[in-house]
Structure 1
Amino acid sequence: MAPIVSEEYKERKRQEILQSALACFAKKGFESSTVDDIVSQSGLSKGAIYNYFKSKDEIYLALMDGQTKESGTKFSKAIAERRTALEKLDFLVDAYLDNDPNEFDNKDQALVHFEFRLYSTRNPELKEVLTERYKDFFVELLTGIIKEGQEAGEFNIQLEPATYADIFWAMVNGVTLQATILNDYAYKSILKEMRTMFVEKLKA
């Protein structure tokens, strides 16, 4: 009879695989990394890895899902503690100011994320997953803050919240991409200036 394996044990092994995969993706790039690389990094067998994940794509999506849930919990708690919509918006920008891709600990992760996003454009199923994640978490989060600001009289009631949520994330993703691919990019000062411009446009 096969030994009984606890859920805690399975989750621990799953996390080992995910962290090993992230290390491989950061070192070699997503497309260049293989399951054999993850096997070597983790010390687990290929069969053990396939017992948890069907493919490299599924591993990355699990990584992304975990990060989104972690960010969602953190953001939701912090946003709920802030009184005004503008304070909530400032918190989000500050969170990205603290995640400068020029810094060593952040650059590899940013590279992996952008590489996977480009890779997903050639795969309709992956593209759909990323699109739904973007709408359900990122756009919904900003839309809620902007609507709250409009109801409180902080923001212009004539503006379309979903459109400005898209503008916000285009701003954040754009400056992050520039900092990822260019040398000596003034990420923080540019993002701060973008925040000023964005808030001026939102104000009632």
Structure 2
Amino acid sequence: MSPKISDEEKQQRRQQIIQAAMEVFKKKGYEPATMRDIVEETGMSRGWVYLYFSSKEEIFRAMVDALDEQNDQHVQRLLEETGSVWEALNVILTIQEQELEGNMDPMVPVLYEYFVGGWREETRRAYLMERYEKQSKRIHSFFQEGIKRGEFQPELDIDLIAKFIFGYMEGLLVHAQVLGGKNLRVKEQMNFLRRNLYDLLHVQPK
């Protein structure tokens, strides 16, 4: 009989597989990477890895969920540390600006490879739509917190504003990958975005 392992150990092994897959995707990209690459990176047996995940795509989606959870935790910490939704938003935009100027997370191009490269696949396109809606709702909730605290008094639908900022940033990230951040006049574009958000959200002076 196989030895029983605790739920905590199962979770640790699952995270180990996800982390190993992330390293493989960073090195090779999504399409060239294989389950064999991931198994070798984990240091586990093939059977152990397949016990948790049946395919490279299943691991990738679990990794995306884990990254989203980390981002949610980061945003929550920012809100607690700054005590202001507008200040937290500016910190997030500054981080995005730094990435656009050359400090890009190596997972960003892998995410675009997966989503853009697979747009013809119905299941992947459906997953992209699901993720788009989730991300828009995250931004919507963030803005809603600003309204709740009396920092924002937008005249436009915040769902529309959320989709605007999401689409704007996605466009910049794609162009930064293809053209390089230096060609985008990043600082000017990000300042333009800040000014527009300040007006759209109707930020209230303290």
Q: Which residue of 1 aligns with 2:89?
A: 89
Which one-letter code corresponds to 1:160 in the other structure?
D
TM-score, normalization by structure 2 = 0.82
The 1:58/1:101 distance shift into structure 2, 3 A limit, reads farther
* Per-residue Cα deviation, 1:11-60 (whole angstroms, up to 9, x for no partner): 22222221221122122210111111212322222222111101111010
The 1:108/1:154 distance shift into structure 2, 3 A limit, reads closer
Which one-letter code corresponds to 1:171 in the other structure?
Y
Structure 1 gaps, min length 5:
none
Q: Which residue of 1 aligns with 2:168?
A: 171
The 1:4/1:167 distance shift into structure 2, 3 A limit, reads same
Contact 1:34/1:56 (<8 A) preserved: yes
Which one-letter code corresponds to 2:69 in the other structure?
K
Q: Which residue of 1 aligns with 2:3?
A: 3
Contact 2:18/2:63 (<8 A) preserved: yes
Contact 2:118/2:124 (<8 A) preserved: yes
The 1:101/1:38 distance shift into structure 2, 3 A limit, reads farther
* Residue aligned with 2:64, SS: helix
Matches within 5 A, 1:94-113: 94-100=94-100, 102-103=102-103, 106-113=104-111
Q: Does 2:134 align with 1:162?
A: no
The 1:34/1:90 distance shift into structure 2, 3 A limit, reads same
Distance 1:114 1:149 in 2: 30
Contact 2:75/2:88 (<8 A) preserved: no
Distance 2:91 2:179 in 1: 26
Q: Which residue of 1 aligns with 2:193?
A: 194
Q: Which residue of 2 aligns with 1:40?
A: 40
The 1:148/1:33 distance shift into structure 2, 3 A limit, reads closer
* Per-residue Cα deviation, 1:148-196 (whole angstroms, up to 9, x for no partner): 5557374332x11111100001111111111122233457413233222
Which one-letter code corresponds to 1:60 in the other structure?
F
Q: Structure 1: which 4+ aligned runs deviate by more than 4 Å?
A: 80-85, 147-151
Distance 1:144 1:43 in 2: 40
Contact 1:14/1:52 (<8 A) preserved: yes
TM-score, normalization by structure 1 = 0.82
Distance 1:132 1:69 in 2: 16
Greater shift, 139-148 or 161-170, is seen at 139-148
Structure 2 gaps, min length 5:
none
The 1:123/1:83 distance shift into structure 2, 3 A limit, reads same
* Residue aligned with 2:68, SS: helix
Aligned pair count reads: 200
Provide the aligned C-alpha RMSD in A. 2.6
